Amino acid sequence: MITKCLFPAAGYGTRFLPATKAMPKEMLPILTKPLIQYGVEEAHDAGCDVMAIITGRGKRAITDHFDISYELEHQIKGSDKESLLTDIRKLMNECTFTYTRQNEMKGLGDAIYKGKVLVGESAPFAVILADDLCVNDSGDGVMTQMVKLYEKYKCSIVAIMEVPKDQVHKYGVISGREIEKGIFMLDDMVEKPDNDKAPSNLAIIGRYILTPDIFEIIENTKPGKNGELQITDALLTQAKNGMVLGYKFKGKRFDCGSMDGFVEATNYFYNMEKSQKSKK
Ligand code: UTP
C-alpha cells in the first residue's frame, strides 16, 4: 500500500520572479486553487493520506494553507462563501500533513533524501512535483494509474511523456525496452542532455513512485549535472541493480513552472469550469 506522498517544494521558482520573491511557487493559483492543492488532491485520490512536504525558507504559506484559519472561517461562517473552503477542509480532515526543511537547494535527489524522516524506510512512497500539474479527463488521475502499476511490478516507477526533440535538454530523459504498451524497463537515464545526445525523446515528469532502497542509493550518489544531487542518477543505479519502470501516463501535464504551461493550465481549467457551469 502506498499511503505517503512526498512533495519537494523547496525550490526558489526563479522563473516566476518577482511573484515568487516572498511567495512559494507551489502557492501560485490556477483559478482559485494553489498548485500544491491540486497535487495533494491527486495523491489523496490515489490512496495517500500522509502528505510529506519538503519546504524551505519563505515557504510558510504552504503550512498555513493546510491549517485552520480561525478568523477567516469565523468571518464567512453561514455565508455563501463557506462552501469555497469545502474541498480544502476535506483534505485537512482526511490527511496528515508533515513538514521538513531542505536548508540548501542541493537538487531534487537531496530534497527527496530529506523526506526520509517523514516517509520512513519501510514502504514505497509517491513523489509529486506540484509545479507539474496533471489531469486526466477520462479516468484515473496520474498517481492512481501509477499506484495500480506499482501493485503489479513492485518497483520504482517514473512518469514519462514524449516531448519535442528540441526540448529534451530541459528534462531527465530515458531509454528502455517496452515490456507492455507504454511501459518501459529503463536501461538509461540522462539528466538534461544536449538535444542531439539524448537517448530518446521520452522525458521524466514530476510523478514518481520510489521504493525505499532509493535512500541508501542517494547516500552513495555524487552530485551530478549543475553540481546538484540528481534523482535521475540515483534511479539509474536502482535500474541497474534491479528494475525501474517508465510509464507513459494517460492524461495531460502542464509545466506550471514555466509561463507558457501556467497560462495553458489556467485556460484549460477556466474552460472546464465554464462548461461545467453552463451544463448546470
Ligand atoms: P525546478 O528546478 O523546476 O524548480 O525543480 P525551481 O528551482 O523552484 O524553479 P526555477 O527553475 O528556479 O524556476 C523541480 C521541483 O523540485 C523541487 C522544486 O521545488 C520543484 O518543485 N526542488 C528542486 C527542491 O525541492 N529542492 C531542490 O534542491 C531542487
Decide if 7 contacts 52 (C-beta within 8 A): yes
Q: Which atom of ligand 1 is nearest to the CA of 131?
A: 21
Q: Which of 120, 127, 121 is nearest to 54 (CA)?
A: 127
* Partners of 135 in the β-ladder: 252
Q: Give the DSSP per-residue string, 24-36.
A: -GGG-EETTEEHH
Q: Model-level pTM greater than 0.85?
A: yes
Over residues 216-243, the mean pLDDT reads: 95
Q: Which of 233, 147, 251, 247 is nearest to 203 (CA)?
A: 247
4-62 tens-digit pLDDT: 999 999 999 999 999 999 999 999 999 999 999 999 999 999 999 999 999 998 889 99
**Would the CB of 56 count as within 6 Å of ligand 1?**
no
183-216 tens-digit pLDDT: 999 999 999 999 999 999 999 999 999 999 999 9
132-191 tens-digit pLDDT: 999 999 899 999 999 999 999 999 999 999 999 999 999 999 999 999 999 999 999 999
**Would the CB of 13 count as within 6 Å of ligand 1?**
yes
- 4-279 CATH fold: Spore Coat Polysaccharide Biosynthesis Protein SpsA; Chain A (3.90.550)
Q: Which atom of ligand 1 is nearest to the CA of 10?
A: 25
Q: What 3-state DSSP class applies to 201?
A: coil
Q: What is the pLDDT of residue 277?
A: 85
Mutate to test the pocket of ligand 1, among 5, 7, 17, 25 (most ligand atoms within 8 A of CB): 25
